[in-house]
């Protein structure tokens, strides 16, 4: 196993460390806001060219309560399991972008993608994912149900 130290202005990583042991540093810039609808799909772009050579892709999610690794890929091989609630709903494309299907209200949070390509170039992206439309729809459904229940009470 080759141990190679990659350095950039904000990151130093030994590539021989298992993916689950690599903790991405805190974002230096505020995350880009992205809004999606519950039940739909979210595409979190990596803003880069196709993966090649000795590449590594890590996607994490941070909320006020937890920090979890969602995807960890080294040279096309998955090196960690996604948390149970994400299983079967995550994909990484050939550019390292993350696709989440069947979005749930609990999927909100800050997502960080770190992509290291064969030349050692490190790309990092940060997104604050919200599902505001889904919350509005839930509120609308709750109000409709409450109105219906009130009407039934008045009829009886």
* CA dist., res. 59 & res. 82, Å (int): 10
DSSP structure class, residue 80 = S
| Helices and strands (DSSP H and E) totals, the chain | 1, 11
CA distance 108 to 115: 22
pLDDT tens track, the chain, 156 positions:
444 444 444 444 444 444 544 455 555 678 999 999 999 999 999 998 888 889 999 999 998 888 999 999 999 899 999 999 999 999 999 999 999 999 998 999 999 999 999 898 999 999 999 996 545 555 566 665 655 555 454 454
User: In sequence order, what are the beta bridge partners of 111?
Assistant: 61, 127
Would you state the pLDDT for residue 143?
61
**Is 19 within 8 Å of 85 (Cβ atoms)?**
no
Strand 32-35 to strand 122-130: parallel, antiparallel, or no bridges (unpaired)?
A: parallel
* Domains, the chain, with CATH or none: 5-131 (2.60.40.10)
Residue 14 is predicted with a pLDDT of 41
């Amino acid at each position: 196993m080759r141990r190679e130290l990659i350095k950039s202005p904000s990151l130093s990583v030994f590539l021989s460390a298992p993916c689950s042991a690599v903790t991405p540093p805190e974002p230096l810039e505020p995350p880009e806001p992205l809004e999606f609808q519950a039940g739909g799909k979210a595409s979190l772009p990596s803003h880069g060219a196709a993966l090649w050579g000795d590449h590594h892709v890590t996607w994490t999610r941070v909320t006020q309560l937890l920090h979890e690794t969602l995807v960890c890929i080294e040279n096309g091989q998955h090196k960690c399991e996604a948390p149970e609630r994400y299983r079967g709903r995550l994909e990484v494309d050939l550019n390292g972008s993350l696709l989440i299907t069947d979005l749930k209200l609990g999927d909100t949070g800050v997502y960080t993608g770190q992509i290291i390509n064969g030349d050692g170039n490190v790309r990092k992206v940060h997104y604050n994912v919200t599902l505001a439309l889904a919350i509005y729809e839930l509120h609308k459904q709750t109000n409709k149900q409450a109105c219906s229940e009130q009407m039934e009470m008045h009829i009886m």
